[in-house]
Amino acid sequence: MSAATTLSIAGSDPSGGAGIQADLKAFSARGVYGMAAVTALTAQNTTGVSGVHVVPPEFVAAQIRAVLDDIRVDSIKIGMIANAGIAGAVAGALERFSGPVVLDPVMVAKGGHPLLPADAVAALRERLLPRAHVLTPNLPEAAALLEDDTADNRAGMEAQAQALLALGPKAVLLKGGHLESRQSPDLLVTEHATIWIDGQRVETRNTHGTGCTLSSALAAELAKGQPIANAVRTVKQWLTGAIAAADGLDIGHGHGPTHHFHALWPEAGDTKRAQRN
């Protein structure tokens, strides 16, 4: 039986916590074969982004075509787009792809550095949202896409999720981690259903790459044929575990990464003790 496959179209994070590095880890952790087409190189670490080098749009498209020409792709995750030209190039390259696409509208890095120019938001909204099987914004990203204020309660989340659904994606997973709440509520909206999926809020600052990780894990579950609601619940539970185990990694001096392989590796502390012995 052949392995399920997923292609990430996203930027690179040399520190390994976000972008294509996080995507490939999430694909592996969820049991699918991962591939990546790079849209931008970033100079970043757990404390912030210090530079971005954008890949020419035609070369982004060439990477995607090279994969599609040779390998069966069961799902695609789209992350950092970088500019309007790349949004158009990705949309054009995906005209021949009919499988599920998970679109994570990466706009601002964890440290606050903008990753998507204002003139590219319209291109993302017009060219890629209608192609998405699932759109996975957080609350500030949803507000930016809708040119609205950031939702601060569940009623506002429902209104904005429905407004995003009207822009063309088949489903919207609106992440509520920015709400001031004891829980971490996410909202899945489709044409036929509105489903709240609550999760435990983990107190940690090590949440670098959580958006990338969730969207790529979701793409992996869709590649395996999971129905959307089941896939979201599976990924929500897995990501909560990855965040809960993040402190054990002890990576960097800022917002450290989640622990993608928390279910597969020994505890980080045990590993360190074994290394010392």
Q: Which residues are catalytic?
A: 175, 207, 209-212
DSSP codes joined into one string, 78-122:
E----SHHHHHHHHHHGGG--S-EEE----B-TTS-B-S-HHHHH
Taking the C-alpha atoms of residue 184 and residue 36, their distance in angstroms, rounded to an integer, is 29
Taking the C-alpha atoms of residue 237 and residue 207, their distance in angstroms, rounded to an integer, is 15
For residue 113, the tally of other CB atoms under 10 A from its CB is 14
Nearest-CA neighbor of 60 among 24, 86, 88, 94? 86
Q: Measured at the alpha carbon of residue 115, what is the angle toward residues 112 and 120, in degrees to the nearest 5?
A: 135
Taking the C-alpha atoms of residue 137 and residue 275, their distance in angstroms, rounded to an integer, is 40
Taking the C-alpha atoms of residue 217 and residue 261, their distance in angstroms, rounded to an integer, is 12
Helix (H, G, I), strand (E, B) or coil at 184: coil
For residue 275, the tally of other CB atoms under 10 A from its CB is 7
